[in-house]
Copies of this chain bind each other. A is one copy, B any other.
Amino acid sequence: MSNNGEKRRPIWRDKETGSIKIIDQRRLPHELIVVDLQLVNDCITAIQDMYVRGAPLIGVTGAYGVYLAVLNFPTQEIEADYLISECRRIKAARPTAVNLSWAVDRVYDKLKHISNKDQAISVAQQEADLIAELEAENCRKIGAHGLPVIRNISREKDGRTVNVLTHCNAGWLACVEYGTATAPIYAAFDAGIDVHVWVDETRPLNQGARLTAWELGQQGVKHTLITDNAGGHLMQHAKVDLVIVGTDRTTFTGDVANKIGTYLKALAAKDNQIPFYVALPSSTFDWHINDGVKDIPIEERDPNEIKFVQGRKAGKTLSVLISPADSPAANFAFDVTPARLVTGFITERGICKASAQDIKQLFPEKSKR
């Protein structure tokens, strides 16, 4: 996507040095810093400490992590045990997003019978590049399939502004291009539909206030930042026509793990009969877990992410303590929205209802598993 007129992705392979470049998303919107990932550990840190985040992007970063593992192997003959253990370490970096395992396993599967290092580097590089392109293309298709949803609302409203609410950042920064939740919004914007986005700030790490607001601003899409608390009130007063969010993992039965607080917005959408869509590439489906609320692992992160808020003051980025210094805090990073609250999934193959039957109808090859 464009940033100050320059084409940008949140991750890319430097063709000269072989290293992987990422935007350090912790520093946005105040600073645009590009970081080099040279070692597997750099890649793990980037995922754990959220230099990169968002299910598709974590997957792509993991894929390049496997590439870095083979690139850095000290001899010409790659050891199978080494590769297995490095893949395991990368997959453990964040527990909730399923794309990470999916992408790492995909590169590993291509490598598992290759022991020659040069050949392995070439195969890993190709496969990781391919996953990146695939996710970009998936997001483009999600935009194309989601566009009619927004267009129909625009028609029903006789062209008046369509108000979309989104939570967290499921934009191009979370993916490779277009985003998932934002893809239909960008597609509608490009099609000349009058669209406005309510941006949940998304505590504790403020991905909405920092990233989604920045992204939409860069592309010129109308938006308004709100607190995570405000969505229900806006829905009660007919100020929201549609909710679209991304997801970190969605079960084949339709339960949606996404950034903490998503469940509350889904409840409010249901209570006010507002459509609640989840946009995702099929790499985010979990084809094994049946009951998302019970069985999707929910990451608990450092309580200081709640107690300290990062922002900008006098040209510097710094963190301030918002609570008493000795207050205990608990930081659950995700919640699960049950399928019954979801109007539909917008995928690269089209839209389906949030049920095992409808999902498998769209992805029949998965039902054979």
Q: Which A positions have Cβ atoms within 8 angstroms of B?
A: 29-30, 199, 201-204, 206, 209-210, 213-214, 217, 223-234, 236, 259-261, 263-265, 267-268, 271, 293, 298, 303, 306-313, 318-324, 326-332, 334-336
Residue in chain B with minimal CB distance to A340: B271
- Taking CB atoms, residues of chain B closer than 8 Å to A230 are 260-261, 330, 332, 335
Please give the distance in Å from A90's CB to the nearest CB on chain B: 27
Q: List 15 A-B contacts (CB under 8 A).
A: A201-B203, A213-B327, A214-B327, A223-B328, A225-B306, A225-B323, A225-B329, A225-B330, A227-B260, A229-B261, A234-B332, A309-B322, A310-B322, A312-B321, A313-B320
Please give the distance in Å from A320's CB to the nearest CB on chain B: 3
> In the bound complex, do residue A232 and residue B311 qualify as a contact, i.e. CB atoms below 8 Å apart?
no
Q: What copy number does this chain have within its complex?
A: 2
Please give the distance in Å from A290's CB to the nearest CB on chain B: 16
Please give the distance in Å from A28's CB to the nearest CB on chain B: 9
> In the bound complex, do residue A306 and residue B232 qualify as a contact, i.e. CB atoms below 8 Å apart?
no
Known: A204-B227, A226-B306. A324 touches B213 (CB 8 A): yes
How many angstroms from the CA of A298 to the CA of B236 in the assembled complex? 12
How many angstroms from the CA of A15 to the CA of B98 in the assembled complex? 66
> In the bound complex, do residue A236 and residue B324 qualify as a contact, i.e. CB atoms below 8 Å apart?
no
- Taking CB atoms, residues of chain B closer than 8 Å to A233 are 260, 263, 298, 332, 334-336
How many angstroms from the CA of A303 to the CA of B223 in the assembled complex? 13
Residue in chain B with minimal CB distance to A328: B224
